Amino acid sequence: MTKKLKKYLNNVYGVSQITFNPNGPGAVRVHLIPPKKVKLGIAWVVIINGQDVLPVTTGWGILLREFINNAICYDGKEANDAIIKKIINDTTKTMSELFPKTKVAIFKSDLRDIVDTLTKIAKGETPSVAIGYMSLKKYAKYMQAPHRIDLMISSMNKDGNWHCNQKCLHCYAGEQIEARTNEISTDEWKKIIDKCKDAMIPQITFTGGEPTLRSDLVELVNYSSWFVTRLNTNGVLLTKKLCEELKEASLDSVQITLYSADENIHNKLVGANNYQATIKGIKNAVETGLNVSINTPLCKLNENYRETIKLVKDLGVMYFSCSGMIMTGNSQEEYAKETYLTKAEISKIVAEAANYCYNNNLEISFTSPGWISTDKLNELKLVVPSCGACLSNMAVAPNGDVIPCQSWLNGDVLGNLLTDSFSEIWNSKKCKNIRKQSRTKEEICLLANGKEKQDEKSN
């Protein structure tokens, strides 16, 4: 290793971020994250559009970092041939200083391969370059923060009253301690968002409760433009005006929960006559040009999931996700348990839905670890979900409390981002213990399978 390379690696810090094709269809948002200790042989991580996580070699990491650093100098300018040539030449010049034995032509070839690979992955295509695979279990020790943090900006209670425009039968936040905490101010959320950026967390999801109840939602999304941003909502308040404002604020995607194509079933499951409003919200989001996905928690009442996909496909949506029950909150009530599906039933429903999606050029994912066997998921060509608590994702409650994930609302608080640094929280004994469980029990949900008492291990 040359002295220049050693010095360079010792000074690497922070996330590098760039967007390819920002003004056209198929924008590719890239966040490059170095490992906790940067040295040869330890993978860097590229996160594409906040969802695809790609490990890259140190060489590719440095090459992409230099390309991003040089490209940022021309931010806001049209990328004409002269500018692109200058960016590439400046990048390869630095690489030649760090790796003097490597030919410039190889750097240029690698750079083309990197851009091509990232673009194809973002489009769901198979890259021409063979890429490796590294599980979060293996990479965890190199992480400085999760890849996503969920900000629960709206509380389930306000002034002692229920504060949501629905009352879902299986609401994981219902009556949970952390979901009912007092909401903090706009400026306090901005302080937390700043800390998330400093911690090098590349993606933020605005959730709740119901985040569209906050009058400052657009302001917070706009303030978070450095991140890949997503909004989780029931869609009821997604007016055309709000959708246009969210698009202008650079919201990257919106996930809307729709339980069923059947109006009566949907309304029963959400505890409100909101079906038509949700459908209208989906239409508004699609017509505005937002990137829309539809999420459906599965139960006995909405087993005909394929019909839900058919309905929404005709509205212009291409992305779908579904899940089993999240075993917390209202889903633990006896009346809710009566609607549970067995693992075999869920497997059958998801198989039918996946086949329909593949035949209609749609994308689908199943997000609940432990409900469907790995073999079956592989057979269906679905990504095997894993528990990401204190690992790939964490959450912030309405009052700033940090919790392991957005469903972990029973009072297991890891700290508060208004008073604690993210590093203190991430490196705390309690957080490390949960992260260890997430790593070693990858294909189960810690909440669904009975987590160990954290307090006993933390004291």
Q: Residues 278-294: pLDDT tens digits?
A: 999 999 999 999 999 99
Q: What's the alpha-carbon Rg for the chain, to the nearest Å? A: 22
Expressed in percent and rounded to 5, the helix, strand and coil fractions of the chain are 40, 15, 45
What torsion do the CA atoms of 268, 274, 280, 283 make, to the nearest 10 degrees?
-40
Q: Is 292 helix (H, G, I), strand (E, B) or coil?
A: strand
Per the structure block, which two tokens stand in for 216? 């400052």
Percent of the chain with pLDDT over 90: 58
Type of residue at 143: M
Strands (E), 7-48: 16-20, 28-33, 44-48
Residue 110 CB neighbours (<10 A): 19
Per the structure block, which two tokens stand in for 241? 């005006």
**What is the pLDDT at residue 447?**
78
Q: Residues 356-391: pLDDT tens digits?
A: 999 999 999 999 988 999 999 999 989 888 888 999
**pLDDT higher than threshold 70 for residue 458:** no
- pLDDT band, very low/low/confident/very high, at 431 (cuts 50, 70, 90): very high
Least confident of 71-75, 104-108, 109-113, 129-133: 129-133
Q: Which CATH superfamily is domain 141-458 in?
A: Aldolase class I (3.20.20.70)
Name, in order, each residue with C-beta under 8 angstroms of 115's C-beta and a sequence gap of 6 or more.
20
Name, in order, each residue with C-beta under 8 angstroms of 75's C-beta and a sequence gap of 6 or more.
none
- CA 352 to each of CA 79, 85, 256, 265, 343: distance values in angstroms, whole numbers, following the listed order: 45, 49, 21, 20, 14
CATH 3.20.20.70 occupies which residues in the chain? 141-458
Task: For tokens 């923060």, name the residue.
Answer: 145
**What is the pLDDT at residue 292?**
96
Q: Residues 72-91: pLDDT tens digits?
A: 887 666 667 788 889 999 99
If we measure between CA atoms, which residue out of 299, 302, 411, 316 comes closest to residue 361? 316
First to last CA, the chain: 44
- pLDDT band, very low/low/confident/very high, at 22 (cuts 50, 70, 90): low
Q: Is 284 helix (H, G, I), strand (E, B) or coil?
A: helix
Strands (E), 309-403: 319-323, 363-366, 393-396, 401-403
**What is the pLDDT at residue 454?**
37
DSSP string of 90-131, one letter each residue:
HHHHHHHHHSTTS-HHHHHHHHHHHHHHHHHHHTTPPPSS--
Helix (H) or strand (E) holding 285: helix 275-288
Give the predicted TM-score (pTM) of the model: 0.85
Q: Would you say 88 and 108 are in contact if contact means Cβ atoms under 8 Å apart? A: yes
